[in-house]
Amino acid sequence: MSKYDEIAHYQDFEDLLKILKESNNNYDIKKIQKAYTLAEKAHGDQRRISGIPYILHPTSVACIVAGFGMDTDSIIASLLHDVVEDTEYDLNYVRKEFGKDVANIVDGVTKISKIKLYTREEQQAENVRKMLIAMSNDIRVIIVKLADRLHNMRTIECMKEQKRRDKSRENMEVFAPIAHRLGMKAVKDELEDLSLRYLDPVGYKEIEDALLLKENEREKFIDKKKKEIIKASKLPGSKITVYGRVKSINSIYRKTFLKGKTLDEIYDFFALRIIVDEIKDCYNLLGVIHDLYTPIPRRFKDYISTPKPNMYQSLHTTVIDRDGIPFEVQIRTWEMHQTAENGIAAHWKYKLGFTRIVNGKKARELDAYISRIKDVLAAQIDTDDSTDIIRNIRNDFDQNEVYVFSPKGDVFNLPNGSTVIDLAYLIHTEVGNHMVGAKVDHRIVSIDYKLKTGEICEILTQKDSHPRRDWLDICKTSSARSKIRQWFKNEKRDENIVEGKMMLERELKRSNISLTDEELEELLQFMLKKNKFNTVTDLYASIGYGGIQLWKVMPRIKEEYNAKFKPEEMPPVIVKNATPRRRHASSGVIVEGMEDCLVKFSQCCNPLPGDDIIGYITRGYGVSIHKRSCTNIPEDISTSEEPERYVKVSWEDDINDNFRSTLEIVCSDRTGVLADVTIALSSMRIFINTLNSRSIGNGRALVTATIEVFSREHLESVIERLQSLREVISINRF
Ligand code: MN
Catalytic residues: 85-86
Q: What is the pLDDT of residue 127?
A: 65
User: Mapping DSSP to helix (H, G, I), strand (E, B) and coil, where does residue 211 land?
Assistant: helix
DSSP state of 172: I
Q: What is the pLDDT of residue 111?
A: 81
Measured at the CA of 397, the angle between CA 401 and CA 420, to 5 degrees, comes to 20
Measured at the CA of 337, the angle between CA 62 and CA 28, to 5 degrees, comes to 30
Residue 550: pLDDT above 70? Answer: yes
Please give the distance, rounded to the nearest whole angstrom, from the Cα atom of residue 85 to the centre of ligand 1. 10
Instruction: Report, as an integer, the average pLDDT of 545-557.
Output: 82
Q: What is the pLDDT of residue 331?
A: 95
Please give the Cα distance from 481 to 492 (Å, whole number).
16
Please give the distance, rounded to the nearest whole angstrom, from the Cα atom of residue 204 to the centre of ligand 1. 26
* DSSP states of 551-589: HHHHHHHHHHHHHHTSPP---TTT--------EEGGGTE
Per residue in 97-137, pLDDT (tens digit) is 999 889 989 988 888 877 766 655 655 666 666 666 666 66
Instruction: Report, as an integer, the average pLDDT of 341-368.
Output: 47
Q: What is the pLDDT of residue 39?
A: 94
> 27-31, 117-121, 286-290, 536-540: lowest mean pLDDT where?
117-121
Please give the distance, rounded to the nearest whole angstrom, from the Cα atom of residue 13 to the centre of ligand 1. 16
Residue 665: pLDDT above 50? Answer: yes
Residue 147: pLDDT above 90? Answer: yes
Please give the distance, rounded to the nearest whole angstrom, from the Cα atom of residue 537 to the centre of ligand 1. 65
Q: How does 162-179 read in b/e, with b if 16+ C-beta sit within 10 Å?
A: eebebbbbbbbbbbbbbb
Beta-strand runs (E) in 299-369: 301-302, 315-320, 326-333
Q: What is the pLDDT of residue 391?
A: 37
> Which pLDDT band, with edges at 50, 70 and 90, does 711 fall under?
confident
* DSSP states of 386-436: HHHHHHHHHHT----EEEEE-TT--EEEEETT-BHHHHHHHH-HHHHHTEE
Closest by alpha carbon to 343, among 159, 498, 183, 512?
Answer: 183
Neighbours of ion ligand 1 (CB under 5 A): 82, 148
Instruction: Report, as an integer, the average pLDDT of 417-441.
Output: 92
* DSSP states of 585-652: GGGTEEETT-SS-EEEE-TTT---TTS-EEEEE-SSS-EEEEETT-TTS-SSGGGSS-GGGEE-EEE-
Most confident of 287-291, 520-524, 648-652: 287-291
Non-local (6+) Cβ contacts of 670 within 8 A are 727
Please give the distance, rounded to the nearest whole angstrom, from the Cα atom of residue 267 to the centre of ligand 1. 39
Please give the Cα distance from 191 to 180 (Å, whole number).
11
Please give the distance, rounded to the nearest whole angstrom, from the Cα atom of residue 151 to the centre of ligand 1. 8
Q: What is the pLDDT of residue 194?
A: 93
Residue 381: pLDDT above 50? Answer: no
Radius of gyration of the CA atoms of the chain, in A: 39
Please give the distance, rounded to the nearest whole angstrom, from the Cα atom of residue 64 to the centre of ligand 1. 12
Mean pLDDT of the chain: 80
Q: How does 121-143 read in b/e, with b if 16+ C-beta sit within 10 Å?
A: eeebbbbbbbbbbbbbbbbbbbb
Please give the distance, rounded to the nearest whole angstrom, from the Cα atom of residue 113 to the centre of ligand 1. 8
> Which pLDDT band, with edges at 50, 70 and 90, does 196 fall under?
very high
Bridge partners, residue 690, by sequence: 706
Closest by alpha carbon to 86, among 115, 59, 47, 120?
Answer: 47
Q: What whole-number percentage of the chain has pLDDT above 90? A: 23
Residue 664: pLDDT above 70? Answer: yes
Indicate the pairing of strand 401-405 with strand 443-445. unpaired
The sign of the torsion formed by the CA atoms of 169, 172, 176, 178 equals: negative
Q: What is the pLDDT of residue 356?
A: 30
Residue 444: pLDDT above 60? Answer: yes
CB 733 within 8 A of CB 715: yes
Please give the distance, rounded to the nearest whole angstrom, from the Cα atom of residue 42 to the centre of ligand 1. 14
Please give the distance, rounded to the nearest whole angstrom, from the Cα atom of residue 57 to the centre of ligand 1. 7
Per residue in 582-619, pLDDT (tens digit) is 444 455 788 776 666 677 777 777 788 888 888 887 76
Q: What is the pLDDT of residue 572?
A: 38
Instruction: Report, as an integer, the average pLDDT of 370-390.
Output: 42
> 13-17, 32-36, 77-81, 123-127: lowest mean pLDDT where?
123-127
Q: What is the pLDDT of residue 582?
A: 40
The sign of the torsion formed by the CA atoms of 452, 454, 456, 461 equals: positive
CB 600 within 8 A of CB 580: no
